[in-house]
Each structure stands twice: as C-alpha cells, then as structure tokens.
Structure 1
Amino acid sequence: MTKLTACVLFFSFALSACQLNTGETERANDTVVVDTLAYVYEDYIKYSKNLIKTSETTDTTFFAASYPVFDDSSANRFVRTALLGNDTTTVEEAATTFIGEFDRFQAYDPYPRVWTSESHAKVFGNTPTYLALAIHASSYTGGAHGNYATVFKHYDLQTGKSLELDDIVSQSYQNELTAVAERYFRDQENLGVDQPLDNGYFFNQGQFNLPDNFALEPDSMLFLYNIYEIKPYVNGQTELRIPYRDIERLLTDRAKRIINELNIQVEP
C-alpha cells in the first residue's frame, strides 16, 4: 500500500475530523433536538510504536476515531459504512492499516514526520424514520498542511438504505434547485447577478454548481463545500443555506416527512 492509498482509505468513508470548526455545522440557533434511537459515543485511538524525534520534541503517529454506537444493528452498519467506506472494515483494522503504512514509509524517509488521522462522527439528525451523521475528518501525512473535510451522511430507517440528494429533490427539479441556490450564493458572496464565477472560484468553466454534500436542518437545506472544492485552501469551507420556503415545491414527499419530523423534535 502506498502513502496515497492510506490517505484514500482514510477519506473514502466520507471524511471526519475532531478539530474542525464543528460549530459551523451544528444546528443553528442553539435548538435542541430530541433523539429517537438510543446511542452512546465510543472513542478509539491507536499509536505507532515508532517515535519521531527532533531537536525540540518527541512525538508519534496516531489514528483516532469517535462514533455513535446504537442498539440497532442496521444503524451501526450505516455508521461503519459512513465512517470507513464499508460495513465489513472495523475501526481497529483501519487504524492498523494507517499505522502500518506510516511505519513502513518512515523507515525509508530521510526526514520522517508524524502522521495523524482523526475521524469523528456525530449524530446530526435522529427522528423516527431518519438518521443523519456529520462526519468530520482531518489527516496529515506530510506536506505544507494537512487536509480536513466535513461530510454529511443520511439513512432511511424504514427502508434501511442511504439517502442521496435525488431522494430529497428529484433529478427533474435539481436544475431549479441550483438556480435558487445560485441566487443565495451570489448574495452571500456579494456578487452581482451577471458577475463571472471563474475569477477567485473553482467552478468548472465558471458555471455554478451545488455539491452533493448536504444537511437537512429544521428550516433550511445546508450545502457544504469543503476545502479546495470552490475556493483556495486558505478560505476553508463554505456553507450555503437555502430556506425551505423557497424550495418546498421541489422537495420529495420523503424529504417533507423528514423535515416535519425534525421540526416536531425541536424544543424551544
């Protein structure tokens, strides 16, 4: 396994991280959501036995993860798939792979440095029929800086299947969703209606597009662009919220049911 493969293994699950501006992706207005499925958080960490010594410090590589554990086995399979890429790999196996790759690489690296991998899944939505995770990830395996991302994953408890954007807004309405989103994006970025998007942004051919990465909040749909998606690294993540009042007719019946449940569970 190459160094790159180790990174891909870490990020293939859906990315998560513990020190990642998590407040930006928590529910707005400090509302409290009453959870439905019972769960507890489990923490895991594994260190390399190979120490990296410099003139100033002695440190070592580590793999850390935290995630919810449910009484429901299907929900736990969803968590493993969201966190690690499939439901057959365990956190311990992922950690062993990451640490093993570091140990092999550093043995031939003339300037070895500590690697880190942190992945933390938090329950973002939990209703009678719906479960959502906000997965934060960060890693460093050399270079000028590490990488980080936040990815949302969605699960229908009734069907036992993951939910994608097409399940929230059908494909036939997504062009209209994009048009509404662009208006909000331009307003948020202080851009004129006809101002080009190919200067300072990474949109393909200057054409606005939405990421597949979204979250359902009680009053709005949140789209999250991670680093490098549309802006340079220094600009970090970009959040874009679209109020349901502007896209209600575009939402599927399943989406409306979930949103209604989210609002019922919000306590003042």
Structure 2
Amino acid sequence: MLKKIVQKAWLCLSVASCVLSGCQFNRETNERDEQAVSTDTLAYEYEHYTLYSDHVVKTNETTDTTFYAVSYPSFKDSMVNRFVLKTLLGSDTATVKGAAQTFVSEFDRFFLSDAFPRIWTSESNAKVHHITPTYLGLVIDVYAYTGGAHGNYATVFAHYDLANQVPLTLDDIVTKPFRNELTAVAERYFRKQENLSVDQPLDDRYFFDEGHFHIPDNFALESDSLLFLYNIYEIKPYVDGQTELRVPYSEIDRLLTDRAKRIIGEITNK
C-alpha cells in the first residue's frame, strides 16, 4: 500500500490549494534559497519549483488553479544530486520540470472534458534529515489531490552512503538473517504503544496481512532509536493517519551492522 501511495504522490505531489482572487498568477517559478547550508563534507541549498495550470476553476468563494510545487536540497556533488532527484521523482531519467509539465498537462486534459472540474494540487518537500561525513538522510513529505473525498499524503525516508556513493536500505542496517528478531522486538514495542496484550489478534483493528505483524521498509535513523513509519492505509484507516514506531538501539544493538553503528555514532555525536 505504501508503494502505491508514494508512486501516485510522485506524479501528484500539498496541502495548500493556491487561492487566487481574480489576480494574474505566475505560471512557473524557480527559486533558490539564498542561504546555503554546509557541513565538513557537503554544502547544499534548497531549490523551489512551481508550475501552475492556465485553466482556472471558479467557485462561489474562490478562484483557484491547479499547481505542482516541489522543493529539495541541491548539492554540488552530481552523484548526490542524482540520488536526491531519483528519490524525489521516482525515476533516474525524470526532471523536475518534466514531472511538473506531465502533472499539469494531465489536469488540462481533464479540465476540458469535465463539466465540473476540481483543481488538482501536488506538492513534494524534500529536506535533509541528517548529514554526517559518511551519510545523508532525507525526509520527503508528499501530498496529492486529483479528485475524490480527500487527497493522499505520505512521508518517505531515504538514505545514502556518501563514502561508497550508494543508496542504503533496511538490509544495510539490519541484515536479513536478523530480520525476524528485529520484527519480534518491534512488535513488542508496537503492542505496548497500542495498548495491546501479548496475544491479542491484530487482524481486527489493523491491516496486517493475515494478522501477522510486519515492519515497513520506511525507516529513519535517530540519535537513540530506529524509527519505523507506517503511512496512511498501510496498517490503519485514513482517519487514523500515520503511525510512528520507535525501537531503541539499546534493544537491538546486537542486530545492527557495523555500517549502521558507524552512522548512528556520527548522528549522535555531530
């Protein structure tokens, strides 16, 4: 479910709907934060890009237009930038401008064929979550609305090994032979967090497959805990929103890879 939500969000990525009261609006903006942020290893600054549709949707209260907005950190290192954009757009060949044009063009076709069109909104905001001499962690918040009762949103974490110039997955933090043990520890914390007894079934309140607890691939490295994030619809109804689950490193230290321990040490001591 997470994968489907995120894939849709790549194309339709904000919680705001650009309200315009009959004034002219700029169809395309490309901005850059003046203040650059740097560490001992990498410097970056945030880029902002917005593309509006020319078609206006009028209601009794507002005059709105569809838009695609994205912001992301831009690095001087081309390999790191490639990782950021691939994570943000879901493709290593897509461009920000191209993704924006695709989204707006799809709305424009929809607008011409629908008697009562609604605006679409798409916003994606990528931020640096952690950066150390050997590690880059990103957090990406995406929101998409293309009709229906409500929009879809998700938060996705991405990880990059700066030393070896490769993306990192959960397997690089805890290898597969230890995954069952990690899952067991995580379930214990999940049950405590959700006020569930040790043997209480999970299939009556949650969307776990056949009632079996699982941890998501969506994770973040924090200073003292491994954070797992379940996005909307993944294990609970939309109304319940996202679910965060933290597993203290002290409980799983024996399961962590040497690479994970090094990165966590850098995050803790930075």
TM-score (norm 2): 0.87
| 1:181 pairs with one of 168, 186, 199 | 186
Counterparts of residues 1-268 of structure 1 (less than 5 Å): 10-12=8-10, 36-265=41-270
Query: Taking every aligned residue pair, what percent have the same amino acid on both sides?
Result: 64
User: Deviation at 1:111?
Assistant: 1.6
Letter in 1 for 2:243: T
| Separation in structure 2 between the aligned mates of residue 253 and residue 139 of structure 1, nearest angstrom | 38
Assess if the C-alpha contact under 8 Å between 1:10 and 1:84 holds in 2. Answer: no
User: Deviation at 1:86?
Assistant: 2.0
Deviating above 2 A after TM superposition, structure 1's stretches of 4 or more consecutive aligned residues are 7-13, 15-19, 33-36
Distance 1:106 1:9, change over 3 A: farther
In structure 2, runs of 5+ residues without a counterpart are 17-37
Letter in 1 for 2:155: T
| Separation in structure 2 between the aligned mates of residue 162 and residue 178 of structure 1, nearest angstrom | 23
Moved more, 67-76 or 81-90: 81-90
The residue number in structure 2 matching 1:22 is none
| Separation in structure 1 between the aligned mates of residue 151 and residue 41 of structure 2, nearest angstrom | 36
User: Deviation at 1:53?
Assistant: 1.1
User: Deviation at 1:127?
Assistant: 0.7
User: Deviation at 1:55?
Assistant: 2.3
User: Deviation at 1:51?
Assistant: 0.3
Distance 1:83 1:169, change over 3 A: same
User: Deviation at 1:88?
Assistant: 2.3
Letter in 1 for 2:9: F
Distance 1:77 1:256, change over 3 A: same
The residue number in structure 2 matching 1:26 is none
Aligned CA-pair RMSD: 1.9
User: Residue 113 of structure 2: SS of its match in structure 1?
Assistant: coil
Assess if the C-alpha contact under 8 Å between 1:139 and 1:146 holds in 2. Answer: yes
Distance 1:9 1:105, change over 3 A: farther
Letter in 2 for 1:261: E
In structure 1, runs of 5+ residues without a counterpart are 1-6, 20-32
Greater relative CO (CA pairs within 8 A, separation 6+) = 1
Letter in 2 for 1:11: A
